[in-house]
Amino acid sequence: MNKISFDDLNGKVCVITGGAGVIGVSLVKALVSVGTKVAIVDLNEELAKQVASEISKEFNAVCIGVKANVLEKESLEAAKEEINQILGPIELLINGAGGNSPMATTQVEQLEEGDLDHLEKSFYGLQMEGFDKVFALNFKGTLLPTMVFTKDMLHARKGSVLNISSMNSYHPLTKIPAYSAAKASVNNFTEWLAVHLAKVGIRVNAVAPGFFITNQNRFLVLDEKTGGYSARGNKIVTNTPMGKFGDPDDLQGASLYLLSDLSSFVTGIVIPVDGGFNAYSGV
Ligand code: NAD
């Protein structure tokens, strides 16, 4: 029997969109630690190049930063050309760009009798601009990079795609209808594409992170004045059986597993990495 390891990831080329973000950086570190060559594809070119340079030095690794917008196919195609020239054919893809926006967030969890004079705080006050932006970033921003960056995998008849979903894809969280619907669509698309590509050697899976304090949700889970948890932050910890927020590094193991040949008969699944949140009914 062969030794169980992530050795098959050594020397492979992986693209990670949104790779300069909080979760992205942690996943890039996991990948380079097993010898994967990584292209961080991010809208924020300066940050992508800076993160790539720091990680290259720290891990003596091959890591580059490339600018692209996950919502523009031409920009992704230009990035692919650059990556192919520098690193070679792409064998792995992580769709990590995504996030929520205050413009697509209601101020109240439920519409109560007392709020009827302030409908702007509820569903009725949501701005379509914010709704469209969040839905596009999370859904179209997963679909388009997959269309572009899996082409080399198609030629090789081998590859692995990892989408980053969210806990709210199973049950919507209050206040964030656009983000919840978009991540539910990411799960659905993960299953659809896994079936579509199963016979040409490309696997498609996802991880669904639970709760991590990062840039996109800080305004919801921390109290600006005290720096402690907001009421919502407390609710999350109370409903997470492990009793804490996760650390982005907690996603590393499940992500490497789904990218590697260790999961070679696994496609179309979404793994929750959530301290038990999804399993708990609250009672
Ligand atoms: P982040 O905001 O720290 O990083 C997101 C990165 O994506 C940034 O570097 C940003 O520049 C980049 N980006 C934004 N728009 C882009 C575009 N149009 N094209 C290319 N790059 C773009 O976010 P994060 O917390 O690291 O989240 C990463 C992923 O994990 C997202 O899909 C997010 O929805 C998901 N997620 C996060 C949490 C959490 O608690 N933070 C929980 C569940 C799921």
Angle between helices 177-197 and 128-135 (to 10 degrees): 30
Report residue 216's pLDDT band, with 50, 70 and 90 as the boundaries: low
Q: What is the mean pLDDT of the chain?
A: 96
Higher-scoring residue by pLDDT: 216, 152: 152
In the reported structure, the alpha carbon of residue 140 is separated from the centroid of ligand 1 by a whole-number distance in angstroms of 14
Residue 197 has pLDDT above 90, yes or no: yes
Is 213 near ligand 1, meaning CB less than 6 Å away? no
**230 CB within 6 A, ligand 1:** no
Residue nearest to atom 27 of ligand 1 (CA): 23
Average pLDDT over residues 129-140: 96
Taking only the tens place, the pLDDT of each residue in 89-121 is 999 999 999 999 989 999 999 999 998 999 999
How far is ligand 1, taken at its centre, from the CA of residue 219, in Å? 15
The Cα–Cα gap between 216 and 184 comes to: 18
**Does ligand 1 lie within 6 Å of residue 19's CB atom?**
no
pLDDT at 62 over 90: yes
Which residue among the candidates 179, 229, 257, 280 is catalytic per the annotation? Answer: 179
Residue 217 — pLDDT band, cuts 50, 70, 90? confident
Rounded mean pLDDT of 185-210? 98
**Using a 6 Å cutoff on CB, does residue 48 contact ligand 1?**
no
Kindly report the pTM of this predicted structure: 0.96
pLDDT score for 1 = 65
Q: 207: Cβ–Cβ under 8 A, 6 or more apart, which residues?
A: 162, 163, 164, 165, 251, 254, 255, 258, 270, 271, 272, 273
User: Active site includes 179?
Assistant: yes
Decide whether any atom of ligand 1 lies within 6 Å of the 233 Cβ. Answer: no
Pocket mutation for ligand 1, best pick of 26, 43, 135 (most atoms within 8 Å of C-beta): 43
Fold entry, domain 7-279? Rossmann fold (3.40.50)
Ligand 1 atom with the shortest distance to the CA of 47: 9
Q: Which of these, 10, 11, 12, 72, lies nearest to 41 by C-alpha position?
A: 72
Q: Residue 226 and residue 267: Cα distance in Å, rounded?
A: 44
